[in-house]
């Protein structure tokens, strides 16, 4: 009786293949350490404040505690007379609140007005928190004008310091997560676990890809929410409409049945011959990043996040979502739809696709939207537009691929959803969607050529109408 001889060589190779290489594990540890060292000290590294002769200068001339409120929203540091690369202060409030600090300066006592230097968002909380505003290249200034805005609660500012020495920043939790992530990826490759997906159905692959990409994106987002202001913002606003960012101001305007913001421009601004001339606006109070038209302020930020997130959230809770929460939602949408788009593309090409690979591409899209660095920068409202547009762009790509693989009336439905996604992206941030608009125009022309060749012009008319 013949028996098959055990394949000892193959078993030995499999056993060898499943061993982890200690050298690679050490390398991954070093990479994670280097990544965290860079992320933890990013702000210090990109700001060249190392050539300051004076360090840790305490502004003792200021009163011990400066109260920042609707009547007093700034303080001035005079007679500096040395190179300044950063301004640090400690601020607290009765409850967790977001605020913005802007630094202006004068080069000499003879200058009549202050000029803009730098700006930063920060969060104040009951038990105080330190904020550092980096001014870029260190320069000699005579006076510094520190102005606060967009705060919902009164702030107490104290311990103001110029050119504060920076310690080595290192987040042990973030480091541990990166080590774990690198190790998991290495194990998947070493044990060839991703090969399991070769025979997975497209529907199952979509589910796996969503789970992997969503988990990875939200994990990184949670670690990077350094400026989280909590989940909700009260409405009506505690310190009035003028104290909040344009998204909340536009929501308030819609609630009042109007397009213009419910903030009155100052009489000095309206009295200028040309209020759009920066030189004439020096020393005049006005709102940043708003449009002034016929004596009223308007917001030029896209309304899609307000309509899709703010209003439903408000109707359910009676509160408004924080910008951090809103960006987290759009980040998750980006990861989900991009991973699904990869799966649909594979289905279109009749190719096998690994859910792990789809998740990797989705996570890359998450990072490509600059979400990681934006969230580390305390979630400034300027970037909500880009993140929202990226999510709708990902949805647009998915629905286009889905329309190609769908049959019958479903094809028109997916084309319509693609058109809606593009429109929402356009109403989030126009500049983000313009490259996609060019691609879409080429796609429509190719689709027209294909339908003409197939003698199905009527079908194209329906598809084009659905796409919008």
Cβ distance 222 to 258 under 8 Å? no
CA 393 to CA 425: how far, in whole Å? 6
% of the chain at pLDDT higher than 70: 65
CA 69 to CA 156: how far, in whole Å? 9
**pLDDT per residue over 330-347, tens digit each?**
877 887 787 777 777 777
Cβ distance 160 to 77 under 8 Å? yes
CA 245 to CA 327: how far, in whole Å? 15
pLDDT value at 417 more than 70: yes
In this prediction, residues 96-104 reach a mean pLDDT of 84
pLDDT value at 432 more than 90: no
Which are the contacts of 434, defined by CB distance < 8 A and separation ≥ 6?
Answer: none
The sign of the CA dihedral 280, 283, 287, 288 is positive
pLDDT value at 58 more than 60: yes
In this prediction, residues 194-201 reach a mean pLDDT of 45
pLDDT value at 55 more than 80: no
Banded model confidence at residue 196, pLDDT cuts 50, 70, 90: very low
Q: Is-above-0.75 flag for pTM?
A: no
Higher pLDDT, 228 or 272: 272
Banded model confidence at residue 358, pLDDT cuts 50, 70, 90: low
**pLDDT per residue over 384-416, tens digit each?**
888 899 889 889 888 888 887 777 778 888 888
* DSSP assignment string, 104-123: EEESSTT-SS-EEEEEEEEE
Query: For the CA atoms of the chain, what is the radius of gyration?
Result: 27
Q: Is 253 helix (H, G, I), strand (E, B) or coil?
A: helix
CA 415 to CA 435: how far, in whole Å? 19
pLDDT value at 209 more than 70: no
Which of 64-68, 120-124, 363-367, 419-423 has maximum average pLDDT? 419-423
pLDDT value at 13 more than 50: no
Q: Could you tell me the domains of the chain? A: 57-162 (2.60.120.260), 232-321 (no CATH), 323-467 (no CATH)
pLDDT value at 25 more than 60: yes
**Lowest-pLDDT range, 53-62, 71-80, 171-180, 224-233?**
224-233
Alpha helix (H) residue ranges in 93-171: none
Tell me what the pLDDT averaged over the chain comes to.
Answer: 74
Query: How high is the pLDDT of residue 228?
Result: 42
pLDDT value at 7 more than 50: no
Query: How high is the pLDDT of residue 261?
Result: 93
Query: How high is the pLDDT of residue 5?
Result: 47
Query: How high is the pLDDT of residue 145?
Result: 92
Query: How high is the pLDDT of residue 378?
Result: 45
Higher pLDDT, 283 or 249: 249
% of the chain at pLDDT higher than 90: 10
Higher pLDDT, 291 or 439: 291
């Amino acid at each position: 009786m013949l028996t098959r001889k055990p394949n000892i060589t193959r078993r030995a190779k499999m056993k060898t293949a499943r061993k982890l290489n200690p050298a690679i594990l050490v390398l991954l540890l070093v990479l994670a350490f280097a990544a965290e060292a860079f992320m933890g000290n990013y702000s210090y590294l990109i700001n060249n404040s190392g050539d300051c002769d004076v360090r840790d200068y305490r502004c003792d001339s200021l009163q011990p505690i400066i109260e920042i409120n609707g009547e007093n929203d700034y303080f001035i540091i005079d007679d500096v007379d040395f190179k300044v690369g950063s301004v640090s202060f400690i601020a607290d409030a009765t409850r967790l609140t977001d605020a913005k600090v802007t630094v202006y300066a004068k080069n000499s006592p003879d200058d009549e007005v202050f000029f803009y230097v730098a700006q930063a968002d920060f969060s104040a909380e009951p038990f105080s928190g330190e904020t550092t505003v980096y001014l870029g290249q260190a320069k000699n200034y005579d006076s510094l004008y520190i102005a606060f805005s967009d705060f919902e609660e009164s702030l107490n500012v104290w311990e103001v310091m110029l050119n504060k020495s920076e310690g080595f920043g290192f987040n042990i939790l973030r480091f541990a997560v990166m080590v774990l992530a690198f190790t998991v990826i290495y194990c998947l490759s070493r044990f060839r676990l991703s090969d399991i997906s070769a025979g997975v159905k497209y529907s199952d692959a979509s589910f796996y890809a969503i789970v992997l990409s969503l988990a990875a994106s939200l994990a990184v987002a949670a670690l990077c929410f350094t400026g989280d202001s909590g989940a909700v913002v009260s409405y009506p606003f505690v310190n009035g409409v003028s104290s909040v960012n344009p998204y909340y101001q536009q929501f308030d305007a819609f609630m009042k049945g109007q397009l213009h913001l419910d903030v009155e421009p100052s009489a000095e601004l309206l009295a200028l011959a040309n209020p759009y001339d920066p030189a004439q606006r020096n020393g005049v109070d006005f709102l940043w990043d708003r449009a002034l038209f016929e004596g009223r302020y308007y917001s030029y930020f896209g309304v899609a996040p307000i309509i899709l997130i703010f209003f439903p959230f408000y109707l359910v809770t009676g509160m408004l979502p924080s910008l951090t929460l809103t960006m987290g939602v759009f980040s998750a949408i980006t990861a989900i739809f991009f991973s699904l788009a990869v799966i649909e593309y594979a289905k279109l090409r009749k190719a096998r696709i690994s859910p792990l690979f789809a998740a990797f591409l989705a996570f890359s899209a998450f990072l490509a939207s600059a979400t990681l660095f934006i969230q580390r920068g305390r979630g400034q409202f300027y970037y909500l537009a880009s993140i929202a547009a990226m999510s709708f762009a990902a949805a647009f790509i998915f629905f286009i691929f889905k329309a190609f693989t769908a049959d019958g009336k479903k094809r028109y439905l997916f084309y319509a959803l693609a058109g809606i996604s593009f429109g929402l992206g356009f109403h989030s941030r126009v500049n983000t969607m313009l490259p996609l608009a060019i691609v879409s125009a080429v796609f429509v022309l190719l689709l027209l050529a294909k339908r003409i060749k197939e003698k199905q012009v009527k079908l194209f008319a329906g598809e084009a109408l659905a796409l919008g």
